[in-house]
Chain A
Amino acid sequence: MKPVNQKAWWLVLPVVLCVAFSAVLPLMTVVNYSVQDIISPERRVFVGTEWFAAVLRDADLHAALARQAIFSLCVLLVEVPLGIALALAMPAAGWRSSAVLVLVAMSLLIPWNVVGTIWQIFGRTDIGLLGSTLVRFGVDYNYAGNATDAWFTVLLMDVWHWTPLVALLCFAGLRAIPDAYYQAARIDGASKFAVFRFIQLPKLRDVLMLAVLLRFMDSFMIYTEPFVLTGGGPGNATTFLSQYLTQKAVGQFDLGPAAAFSLMYFLLILLLCFVLYQWMQRVGHDHPAEPLAHD
């Protein structure tokens, strides 16, 4: 069908300009930096793929990447099942439902750096509720000094902060299941587990896909909270990818390698999201139904 007139393009123009200034131009600058050695603002040398090669050889980066991968995996393994469980436990209707919704959503409203600060205090062994309680029970807990403690505290903080997002998405997904399914299951004599396994879980598929993608991307780019809580330490125990990148770009002012790294980081996230999405698309569709002759 032929468009009636071309006026609509003018309405799109502001968005195109905004995107160009906020995303495309900066990205191009990064591309520019990644292939040059900037000695001073006036002197720059084209170095081709040298920075990319250097970054790929960087052992510290490899360690940060491994740490990051394990962290994101743990985040998904804990937050998704916990989120589903939370959603299933939430009341479906009435004032209780509204009250629980507000309570659950609370942590999502807190800014990242405030979350870091809250947990920094929460985990302190002298005045923090968590830290002092653990110490009182004889646990040798010190997130500032012990690498394992620090790592678990960051994970716990992320779980506390973001599981509600998964829970809210699942809650919405559960409410969208028509009542007839539950009625049919009652009549078929299905157990609670069977209802979960054969109705709720399959119907939550799309919502869960969204939740996994969101949580994966966010956790893979985590920066503020560990930065505030541990500063990446002790040692490098909680230095994740974006923090490593910042150290390089801001701390050491290695703009070339930092730019090359940024680009690879960006492409890596894109690639992992794509792979994850494709894989999840196939889950639950491993035997595509044959088309019917009379269709």
Chain B
Amino acid sequence: MKLVLDRIAHRVGAEPYLHPLDLALHPGALTVLLGATRAGKTTLLRIMAGLDAPTRGRVLVDDVDVTGRPVRERDIAMVYQQFINYPSLTVADNIAAPLRRRSVRLPDREIEVRVREIATRLRIDGLLDRLPAQLSGGQQQRVALARALAKDAPLVLLDEPLVNLDYKLREELRDALTRLFATGSSTVVYATTDPTEALLLGGYTAVMDEGALLQYGPTAEVFHRPASVRVARAFSDPPMNLLPARMASGTLQLPGDVRWPVPMAGADMHVASTSGDLSSCTLGIRASALRLTSRVGDVTVRGTVALADIAGSDTFVHVHTAMGPLIAQLPGVHDFALGAPIALHVDPTRALLFDSAGLLHYAPATRAQ
């Protein structure tokens, strides 16, 4: 299904919820709506669904204007962050409910086959006779997802569906979902606040911030080449280290009197702009670009450890430095005492530079694949 939002804007009272934006979703693909809480993701989803009519602009489905057409006249599926099921219906009846609606009424045998198939793919086929209250949170959300996906709607909208689950359940269910979406039969929009989740889901990403759509494109491209400081800030976890810088005689001056060599444009550089004003620019260093081991040409930053957050496979080290607070992402488990001295090394060609207007000047080229 082709969904186009044409100059959509939404305000409630005097407060703008969405600034005017255009968005043409890639048909049959997964689009991640990424942004912090209150960035406007839910408002946009509700407009896509037809639960709300935008104050301005048009919603086009397959080139037909459907603005203001109520949600029950559109063929969509929606999943919320709360686990919403019919409490008095069994799992099987919950999943079958949208298939039994008068407008789509399928033969009972076919409904049974469809229910069993989707339940198997979401691994709840052993629970079909239970009531939602007898299930764990993860199982309840699987049922809600199965109900949304059973009717094979051309547009599937998911509003932070995994946010209320423990991280292990989240990992498993996310895997199951991406496999289901990979068939390409539906256009899927998935709202999340978690940049890592966007990367795991892949597809396309639309980055939102304070009611504005900042950038839309293939997920990896948006991540590696954020168009602006705002996108970089919204689409990085741990947050990208953003340092105020000043261009002076071919090198960048960073806080704490650190000199940062500006790399030559080359095959390993993606140059977004050659013109921008660099008098008060912003240098972006990814947490994963900082290392404990030094290599030739590195810039070295010394500081003290504020906290080592151990996240299983990675350790996020918060460091106080003369340049300001930095976060480094180190693979594996590293235990640092609070206040311990630390030296971090970074290859200057792996940094991003944003000009005085906050727009991308250059970024490292993405890996060879």
Complex A–B touching at CB under 8 A: yes
A residues in contact (CB < 8 Å) with B: 1-2, 4
B52, A4: Cβ atoms closer than 8 Å:
no
Cα distance, A4 to B52, chains bound together (Å): 10
A-B contact count (CB 8 A): 5
5 A-B pairs with least C-beta separation? A4-B70, A1-B52, A2-B53, A1-B53, A2-B68
- Shortest Cβ distance from B72 into chain A, in angstroms? 9
A4 neighbours in B (Cβ, 8 Å): 70
A1 neighbours in B (Cβ, 8 Å): 52-53
B53 neighbours in A (Cβ, 8 Å): 1-2
Cβ proximity bits B268-292 to A, threshold 8 Å, 1 near / 0 not: 0000000000000000000000000
Cβ proximity bits B20-54 to A, threshold 8 Å, 1 near / 0 not: 00000000000000000000000000000000110
Cα distance, A2 to B70, chains bound together (Å): 11
Cβ proximity bits B67-78 to A, threshold 8 Å, 1 near / 0 not: 010100000000
Cα distance, A155 to B321, chains bound together (Å): 76
B52 neighbours in A (Cβ, 8 Å): 1
5 A-B contacts (beta carbon < 8 Å): A1-B52, A1-B53, A2-B53, A2-B68, A4-B70
- Shortest Cβ distance from A2 into chain B, in angstroms? 6
A2 neighbours in B (Cβ, 8 Å): 53, 68
B70 neighbours in A (Cβ, 8 Å): 4
* Chain B residues within 8 Å of chain A by Cβ, number: 4
Cα distance, A1 to B52, chains bound together (Å): 6
Cα distance, A4 to B53, chains bound together (Å): 10
Cα distance, A2 to B12, chains bound together (Å): 12
Smallest CB-CB separation from B71: which chain A residue?
Answer: A4
- Shortest Cβ distance from B198 into chain A, in angstroms? 27
B68 neighbours in A (Cβ, 8 Å): 2
Smallest CB-CB separation from B53: which chain A residue?
Answer: A2
- Shortest Cβ distance from A4 into chain B, in angstroms? 5
Cα distance, A44 to B341, chains bound together (Å): 99
- Shortest Cβ distance from B153 into chain A, in angstroms? 20
Cα distance, A2 to B51, chains bound together (Å): 11
Which positions 50-106 of chain B face chain A at CB distance < 8 Å? 52-53, 68, 70
- Shortest Cβ distance from B278 into chain A, in angstroms? 33
Cα distance, A1 to B53, chains bound together (Å): 7
- Shortest Cβ distance from B46 into chain A, in angstroms? 10
- Shortest Cβ distance from A193 into chain B, in angstroms? 39
- Shortest Cβ distance from A145 into chain B, in angstroms? 62
- Shortest Cβ distance from A164 into chain B, in angstroms? 32
- Shortest Cβ distance from A294 into chain B, in angstroms? 15
Smallest CB-CB separation from A4: which chain B residue?
Answer: B70
Cα distance, A2 to B10, chains bound together (Å): 13
- Shortest Cβ distance from B125 into chain A, in angstroms? 37
- Shortest Cβ distance from B56 into chain A, in angstroms? 13
Smallest CB-CB separation from B68: which chain A residue?
Answer: A2
Which positions 134-177 of chain B face chain A at CB distance < 8 Å? none
Smallest CB-CB separation from A5: which chain B residue?
Answer: B70
Cα distance, A4 to B70, chains bound together (Å): 7
Cα distance, A223 to B52, chains bound together (Å): 52
Cα distance, A2 to B68, chains bound together (Å): 9
- Shortest Cβ distance from B168 into chain A, in angstroms? 26
Cα distance, A75 to B130, chains bound together (Å): 52
Cα distance, A277 to B52, chains bound together (Å): 37
- Shortest Cβ distance from B180 into chain A, in angstroms? 32
Cα distance, A1 to B71, chains bound together (Å): 13
- Shortest Cβ distance from A6 into chain B, in angstroms? 14
Smallest CB-CB separation from A2: which chain B residue?
Answer: B53
Smallest CB-CB separation from A1: which chain B residue?
Answer: B52
Cα distance, A2 to B53, chains bound together (Å): 7
Smallest CB-CB separation from B46: which chain A residue?
Answer: A1
- Shortest Cβ distance from B301 into chain A, in angstroms? 29
- Shortest Cβ distance from A21 into chain B, in angstroms? 35
- Shortest Cβ distance from A292 into chain B, in angstroms? 17
- Shortest Cβ distance from B16 into chain A, in angstroms? 16
- Shortest Cβ distance from B293 into chain A, in angstroms? 38
Cα distance, A4 to B68, chains bound together (Å): 8
Cα distance, A114 to B364, chains bound together (Å): 89
Cα distance, A267 to B52, chains bound together (Å): 42
- Shortest Cβ distance from A264 into chain B, in angstroms? 40
Smallest CB-CB separation from B51: which chain A residue?
Answer: A1
- Shortest Cβ distance from A1 into chain B, in angstroms? 6
